[in-house]
């Protein structure tokens, strides 16, 4: 009986500790792309790419060039709720 109570107590503690609000900082996220020259203030999030297409040139000459991919700044991604938002909806910790 004593071992059953210890197991139940351990399970309750593990559930409580799993539900704690752990801060989700972009710098700890696996999608964080730090800019070497400007530092973390201008870091970008690789989860939300912005594709710059060259459709105007394609319509003229018929050649498709490689599209350049850029990323939103982390501050922009955390600002809007449909992206990551203040609570960090798509946050994944670095492994």
What mean pLDDT do residues 71-92 have? 90
Listing DSSP states for 4-48 in one string gives HHHHHHHHHHHHHHHTS-----GGGBTTEEEETTTEEEEEEEEEE
Domain containing 52: what range? Answer: 24-95
Number of domains in the chain: 1
Has residue 38 been placed in a domain?
yes
Has residue 69 been placed in a domain?
yes
Is 46:33 a contact under the CB 8 Å cutoff? yes
Task: Provide the pLDDT for residue 53.
Answer: 66
Q: Express each pLDDT in 28-39 by its tens digit.
A: 899 998 877 766
Q: pLDDT: is 45 or 13 the higher one?
A: 45
Q: In what order do the strands lie in the sheet with 39-52?
A: 32-35, 39-52, 68-73
- Going by pLDDT thresholds of 50, 70 and 90, the confidence category of residue 23 is confident
Has residue 92 been placed in a domain?
yes
Has residue 41 been placed in a domain?
yes
Has residue 13 been placed in a domain?
no
């Amino acid at each position: 009986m004593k071992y059953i109570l210890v197991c139940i107590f351990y399970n309750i503690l593990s559930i409580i500790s799993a539900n704690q609000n752990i801060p989700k900082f972009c710098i700890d996220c696996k999608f964080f792309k730090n800019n070497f020259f400007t530092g973390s203030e201008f870091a970008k999030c690789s989860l939300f790419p912005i594709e710059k297409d060259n459709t105007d040139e394609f319509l003229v000459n018929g050649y498709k060039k490689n599209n350049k991919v850029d990323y939103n700044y982390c501050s922009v991604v955390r600002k809007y709720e449909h992206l990551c938002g203040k609570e960090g909806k798509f946050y994944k910790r670095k492994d």
